[in-house]
Chain A
Amino acid sequence: MATSMPTARFTLGQMRRSTGRLASAGIAILISTVFVTVTLLAGGIIEETARDVVAASYADSDVIVSADEESESSFSTDDVEAVAAVDGVGTVQPLITWSGTLRNGGKGGHQLFAPVPTDPRLSPLELSDGAWPAAADEVALTPQAAERLEAEIGDELRISRTLYPEGWAESEAENPAAELGEPEEVFESLTVTGLADDPYGVYTASGGAAAIPSATLSAWNAAEVYPSDVTDLLVALDSPLADDSVPAALSTAIQDTVGGTGAQASVETTEAAATTRTSGLTGGDNIIFLVFVMAFAAIALMIAAMVITNTFQVLIAQRTRTLALLRCIGAGADQVYRSVLLEAAILGVVASALGTLIGALLTQAALMVAPNFDLGVPIPETITLTPQSIVLPLAVGTVMTVLAALAPARSATRVAPLAALRPSDAPTLGARTGRARLVISVLCILGGIALLGLGASLGNAGSLEVGMVAAVGGVAFTFFGIVLSAVLWLPRVAAGLGALVTRSGPAPRLAVANTLRNPRRTAATSTALLIGVTLVTMMSTGAASARATSEHRLDEAFPYDLSVSVTVPEYVEDMRDAVAEASGVSAAAVVTHASAAIGDTEDMQLKAADPDGLVAVVNVPDQAEELAEGSILLSQDTADSLSLGAGDSTPVSGPSGTVDLTVVITGSTALDQTVTPEDLARVTDTHTGTDIWGHISGDDAEVVLGNVQEIATQVDIDALVVSQAAQAASFRQIVDVVLGIMVGLLAVAVVIALVGVTNTLSLSVIERTKESATLRAIGMSKEQLRGMLAVEGVLIAGVGALVGIVLGLGFGWSGSATALSVMGTVQFAVPWTELALTLGVALIAGLLASVLPARAAARTSPVAALGAE
């Protein structure tokens, strides 16, 4: 095409002259493409890792036999033996785990058990020390489990299992215990015979495994009321498969063998089975994770687009003269338009290519560093570059750049040829602020707020999923409306805030007036920052509220810091004294459990505790103070189910007699059905269990927990010590880590937005050269001029940050009201530290963003005010 060549040459020439400014826009594109690239590559790594873990759980088996999923059939012990008998099959191991409570002294708790197959090829574990367990009272531990239990080879562990009377599962009686007898809790000893590595991290997610002989595990599983089904069999063949498929003869033979179940079992190679299972996984959690991270990438991209639009407007403003001259000598508007878009495309390709490269290198670097941290799961050594992980960021980055340059390109075509002949103000986008914009945004905001309210009330009513959809929609609508209408109100808010500083002199007053001159640009720049700050604040507020709510709930549900269960009644007094004297424990109280009837309702689980002791121990002393002789604490739910209300009198009866107690409603579920020991004694003297509740003062909950575990097991070998305080601390830690990651992701968006503030100020400086010169001529000093731009930068950034914080708080709270109501009374927290930090960063960044443009402005000679030259 004849016309395109000069355009291209011209474009490249222009780009050479504007490298600095193009670089700043390029950084915005680069950061967002790095984001996209890392996300895609990380997604691949997660998938690969998930697949590896699944494949590893199949160990070195050759073939996997899977039960038909649709008919929900499973394999019986006979099936396993039948498959093992098939010609060519070496050994068979059902894929099964079991879990129970395993303790070493007071340490431990819920533990996953893995089978030790007769054929070591069929276990993903590798013995690292000692011997595999050979008998029912032996166990081997993975490092994670051994660490948690603080167990070594030769230690004796205690396992507790609940044995239910025969026919329990089938019983249709309301109270099977009455017919069949009480379930029995048995304690058994297990000797640690060996330690086993889990090189592929198969059991990492479960916190490690305790390995016991396969037969023992099957027996324990079978003894459960609801045993786990065996749906997969690992099969080791006599001779390995020759190629990547299962011989039809073998497949048919196995299917015929297990055909008795009436369902069609599938026989696959291990590889094929792993791939099938992983693709099932990817449809679930991984997709949600990717969508989640991609949403952040999209936010970064959107903000980068705003920055690019502003940057190109700066460029067009700088080139007004040149563009007009081109038009004068015959360049068509379409040529100018194409030239700008070509420039954007070149910038987009270069920056995106760099971004993709850096993203790939960063991910690779992360993979190389990661093994230094104990992840427990083996991750790939190198990234796998797929066409989509390269093409997608490149295409997204480039297309976004070109799209963002469309509006500036249009404004470039509006440069009149005449502008070459006379001094002219830079072209600006028409400042049309239509009524349609106002109407649409008001509707969006009102609708959004309505949706937020609906979400909160739905969440309160218990329909969490629908409520969340409404809340997310509400946030999206409100936010859209606010961003859309930003041009209408944001500059005014800036002026309002600016009014606070205008008294301090003419330079601030000029700055405030300046922010109002190009409302559209001020709005666009502030909005870029506003989006980032809103999301950061929303996340921190949501997290802080979640934390406060859960702690409040933990306080009510578990009003004690730690609890020690005593299995032998004779040890109760000793245990209470031992716990009370443990370092870090400030008070201990005995809580006795017993069964009694409240009114006509049999078998209610009563607690009895001395009111004074209880007040000293619990975190909700005001609730505990309500307890007195002659009263019974009931939670609202229990009271409702018994048709009782506060102040009602109800008979409580048991083997020893009946006593009339006054109902007191308590907000703490843990204090539900609590009476005084004196009242309990009048009703029954049979106790179903005893706990010691302890109050931790000041010290690290984890350390105190360790102390108490040590002491408690010296008193009672089977005592189980649990700490809500330690649990709350670890929950807080999880929330903090998740929050940290999200804020980190959003910080990228904030950084991009700040590049935009610099560009906006530069554009203003270019457009106001003459004005700056006039101010200098009538006596403004360089310092005053710089001060003026600093105030402008701080104002633009500050308004974005302040409004963002207000919005974020609103969104965070309404989201919390919806999502957290399942956890009980929602606590609306304000994350003061995070908010102060966000505001501080925004203000300082606004100040920094003004430095370069202010230097350019201060260089303006006052002579420039005088003539057209």
Chain B
Amino acid sequence: MDTTVYVPADQPAPAPGGAARAVRARSLTKTYGKGEATVQALDGVDVDFEQGRFTAIMGPSGSGKSTLMHLLAGLDSATSGQAFLGDTEITGLNDKALTRLRRDRVGFVFQQFNLLPMFTAEQNITLPVELAGGTVDKAWFDTLVETLGIKSRLTHRPGELSGGQQQRVAIARALIAQPDVVFADEPTGNLDSRSGAEVLSFLRRSVRELGRTIIMVTHDPSAAAYADRAVLIADGRIAGDISDPTPESAMAGLDALRTLEPAVATGPATGTTTGAGA
């Protein structure tokens, strides 16, 4: 099935504001399976993500947004193309180097929180630093728990925390090692709308107040609206780029992807949508 929005491979989605690039993808391609069963999950994606900003990757399910994130985070290997974290090319790194990279320079926030049930909130947060054999920056730790509002919950185990609180602990865990970038995979997917909104506000605050870089994968336009920028993806290609998305503009962008006519890309929300075909 043809996509509605199309970005030529030689024109990377530009990073607005000319900020330093935290993460870059160049002709990033991923195919699964062989022969008849080949699935093209990513098809020559070029995209840049700026430092100190909150970017959402949006797309319908099966669009390749999760695959893109796996490759950018060094969780999975690309079929071809390159992915960069700062100046480091992560495509082609071996498992050991990728482990070190994840440990020192990347943070993760998962849809299902993935906290270790037998550890307290505090132990969960400090675990990445301990795995790296480092010492916890006490001031940074205090700043994080203060900002995320989990100071009174530090001695509790995940089972004793609400979903929203668990996800805030997970965010603290992702930020504790002061990584170059945090990847959040549908961070509100398992939360009710109020907790979801809280978590998204915290993510935005960590970018604005703590200067972190966050890339969030979501299919929810209202979640994407918390980001500074939304990159749209469909059928394994970049299909649009919205700066300062609102729930409406994000929804419109997604709708545009679902509509078969290419013209939709320049539809009602064009004011904030940088459609590649425009």
Instruction: Enumerate chain A interface residues (CB-CB to B < 8 A).
Output: 423, 505-507, 509-510, 513-514, 516-517, 770-771, 774-782, 784, 861-863, 865-868
Contacts and interface: CB of A to CB of B under 8 A. Distances in A.
A776 B102 CA distance: 9
A115 to B, nearest CB: 80
B99 A776 contact: yes
B116 A505 contact: no
A784 B70 contact: no
A778 B111 contact: no
B136 to A, nearest CB: 12
B249 interface: no
Contacts of A509: 130
B130 A777 contact: no
A506 B131 contact: yes
Given A506-B131, A782-B95, A784-B131, A777 B108 contact: yes
B111 A867 contact: yes
Given A506-B127, A778-B103, A865-B110, A771 B116 contact: yes
Contact of B102 (A506, A507, A778): A778
Given A780-B131, A782-B95, 12 more contacts: A505-B130, A510-B116, A513-B116, A513-B119, A771-B114, A775-B131, A778-B103, A778-B131, A780-B99, A782-B99, A866-B66, A866-B110
Given A861-B75, A866-B111, A779 B128 contact: yes
Which of A423, A516, A777, A861: most chain B Cβ within 10 A? A777
B118 interface: yes
Contacts of A782: 95, 99
Interface of B: 66, 70, 75-76, 95-96, 99-100, 102-104, 107-108, 110-112, 114, 116-119, 127-128, 130-133, 173-174, 177, 185
Contact of B104 (A513, A779, A866): A779
Contacts of A516: 118
B130 A513 contact: no
Given A506-B131, A778-B131, A866 B118 contact: no
Contact of B75 (A775, A862, A868): A862
A781 B110 contact: no
A687 to B, nearest CB: 82
A771 B174 CA distance: 15
Contacts of B66: 866-867
A674 B100 CA distance: 83
17 contacts: A506-B131, A517-B118, A770-B114, A771-B116, A775-B131, A777-B75, A778-B127, A779-B99, A779-B128, A779-B131, A781-B96, A781-B131, A861-B76, A862-B75, A863-B75, A865-B114, A867-B66
Contacts, number: 82
A517 B117 CA distance: 9
A780 B129 CA distance: 10
A863 B76 contact: yes
Nearest to A778: B128
A866 B99 contact: no
Contacts of A775: 116, 131
Contacts of B70: 863, 866
A868 B61 CA distance: 13
Contacts of B102: 776-779, 862
Given A516-B118, A517-B117, A784-B131, A779 B103 contact: yes
Nearest to B76: A863
A867 B183 CA distance: 13
B235 to A, nearest CB: 19
A187 to B, nearest CB: 84
A774 B173 CA distance: 12
B75 to A, nearest CB: 5
B186 to A, nearest CB: 8
A515 to B, nearest CB: 10
Nearest to B126: A506
A268 B66 CA distance: 93
A863 B103 CA distance: 15
Contacts of B114: 770-771, 774, 865
A868 B66 CA distance: 12
* A-B residue pairs, 4 tightest by C-beta: A779-B103, A513-B118, A506-B130, A774-B114
A779 B96 CA distance: 10
Contacts of B76: 861, 863
A797 to B, nearest CB: 20
Nearest to A517: B118
Given A513-B116, A513-B118, A863-B76, A779 B110 contact: no
B241 to A, nearest CB: 24
Interface core residue of B100, B116, B174 (most chain A CB under 10 Å):
B116
Contacts of B174: 778
Contact of B108 (A513, A778, A868): A778
B118 to A, nearest CB: 4
Contacts of A780: 99, 103, 131
Contacts of B185: 866-867
Contacts of B173: 778
A509 B124 CA distance: 12
Contacts of A423: 112
Nearest to B96: A781
Contacts of B99: 776, 779-782
B260 to A, nearest CB: 27
A866 B131 contact: no
B96 to A, nearest CB: 7
Contacts of A506: 127, 130-131
A334 B108 CA distance: 43
A510 B116 CA distance: 9
A510 B118 CA distance: 9
Q: Which of B103, B104, B110, B131: most chain A CB closer than 10 A?
A: B131
Most chain A beta carbons < 10 A, residue from B99, B117, B119, B128: B99
A867 B76 CA distance: 14
B258 to A, nearest CB: 22
Among A510, A516, A770, A861, the most chain B Cβ lie within 10 Å of the Cβ of: A510
Contacts of A865: 108, 110, 114
A233 to B, nearest CB: 81
Nearest to A507: B131
Contacts of B132: 779
A847 to B, nearest CB: 22
Nearest to A771: B116
Nearest to A869: B66
Contacts of B128: 778-779
A647 B70 CA distance: 94
